[in-house]
């Protein structure tokens, strides 16, 4: 197997200022390239199916699905951003300083928006399970749309502050040509860590612990009610089961998200002076990106409506007149 030379440069014509390529086995390089390319394509395709499904079929225009739509949009952009991660396989950035900071800026925004959406999903399930009688009044499509818009807008604004110096002068922290490095202000880095990771994780865990306790209590109550009044309580019990199943499914999504997000922030914390080099954090970033591919697979496994909508989209039945009114539930 061929080994890339340690002194091989990203830009051979710039001997004194070019960065060196990472030393990798040729087999490992090709395997990584194929794996990332496959995940990138699968992520974009699956999340595009989710976006089309929820946007097209009116029956799916529910507050919870609007949150899933926001998550699918962020996951879709993650799939597109994985292209830039493929560029960094050799440890070299060939797209210039401006594209480097734009890539990092978009990645920060998408990460923050995804975390914010996860918090909104947790709140949605908390109200649905713990306050079912008030759910339709408290959680409306209009309020969810406002919350989603605020989530994305605040993420973009806050990350502009976090990366202010980098946006003003792209490439100012690069030590050589071919490097893509971001340096955050210490205070903003700590604030970002709390607002984008520690704080949301605490909120999500507390809400889902409460949801779990209430769901178990309701399950026991439903079994006792079914034994006493089987006919009268059957519709109520079915509705409660549906909400509980949705909470369990979205709980899986949240847990998988947190598991994939933790390595990313662990790497960020381990870097001295809050320095995050794209090449040194490749594995952690790829694990986080892979979560965006897992979410649609979770939907396909747990949600019958997603499997039905995929079939309609793939067979092009979605192009038929009145297809948006199809029954998927």
95 phi and psi angles, rounded to 5 deg:
-100, 5
CA–CA dist 211, 172 (Å, integer): 47
From first to last of the 329 residues of the chain, give the pLDDT tens digit. 444 444 577 777 776 777 777 666 667 677 778 888 888 898 999 999 999 999 999 999 999 899 999 999 998 998 888 887 777 777 788 888 888 888 888 988 998 898 899 899 889 988 888 888 888 889 999 999 999 999 999 999 988 888 888 888 887 777 788 788 787 777 877 888 888 888 888 888 888 888 877 777 766 666 666 555 555 445 554 555 555 565 666 677 777 877 777 777 776 666 544 344 444 456 677 777 788 888 888 877 778 888 889 889 988 888 888 888 888 87
Burial-class residue 70 by CB neighbours within 10 Å (0-12, 13-18, 19+).
buried
CA–CA dist 193, 91 (Å, integer): 26
Look at residue 22 and give its three-state secondary structure: coil
Look at residue 277 and give its three-state secondary structure: strand
Superfamily of domain 26-325, CATH level 4: Rhodopsin 7-helix transmembrane proteins (1.20.1070.10)
CA–CA dist 262, 188 (Å, integer): 19
To which residue do tokens 């890339």 refer?
4
Closest by CA position to 111, among listed 298, 255, 260, 295: 260
173, 183 in Cβ contact below 8 A? yes
């Amino acid at each position: 197997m061929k080994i890339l030379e340690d002194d091989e440069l990203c830009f051979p014509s710039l001997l004194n200022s070019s960065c060196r390529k990472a030393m990798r086995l040729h087999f490992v390089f090709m395997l990584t390239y194929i794996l990332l390319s496959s995940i990138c394509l699968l992520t974009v395709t699956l999340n595009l199916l989710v976006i089309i499904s929820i946007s097209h079929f009116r029956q799916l225009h529910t507050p919870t699905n609007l949150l899933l739509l926001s998550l699918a949009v962020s996951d879709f952009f993650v799939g597109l951003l994985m292209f830039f991660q493929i560029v960094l396989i050799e440890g070299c950035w060939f797209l210039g300083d401006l594209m480097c900071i734009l890539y990092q800026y978009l990645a920060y925004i998408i990460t923050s928006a995804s975390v914010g959406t996860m918090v909104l999903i947790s709140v949605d399930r908390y109200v649905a399970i713990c306050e079912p009688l008030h759910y339709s009044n408290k959680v409306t499509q209009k309020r969810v749309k406002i919350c989603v818009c605020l989530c994305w807008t605040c993420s973009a604004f806050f990350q502009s502050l976090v990366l202010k110096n980098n946006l003003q002068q792209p490439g100012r922290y690069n030590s050589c040509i071919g490097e893509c490095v971001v340096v955050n202000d210490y205070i903003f880095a700590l604030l970002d860590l709390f607002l984008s990771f520690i704080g949301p994780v605490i909120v999500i865990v507390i809400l889902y612990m409460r949801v779990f306790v209430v769901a178990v209590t309701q399950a026991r109550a439903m079994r006792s009610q079914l034994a006493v009044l089987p006919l009268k309580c059957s519709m109520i019990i079915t509705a409660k089961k549906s909400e509980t199943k949705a909470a369990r499914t979205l709980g899986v999504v949240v847990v998988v998200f947190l598991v994939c997000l933790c390595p990313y922030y662990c790497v960020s914390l381990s870097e001295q002076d809050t320095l995050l080099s794209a090449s040194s954090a490749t594995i952690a970033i790829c694990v986080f990106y892979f979560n965006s591919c897992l979410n649609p697979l979770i939907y396909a496994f747990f949600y019958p409506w997603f499997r039905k909508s995929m079939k309609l989209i793939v067979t092009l039945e979605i192009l038929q007149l009145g297809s948006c009114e199809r029954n998927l539930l």
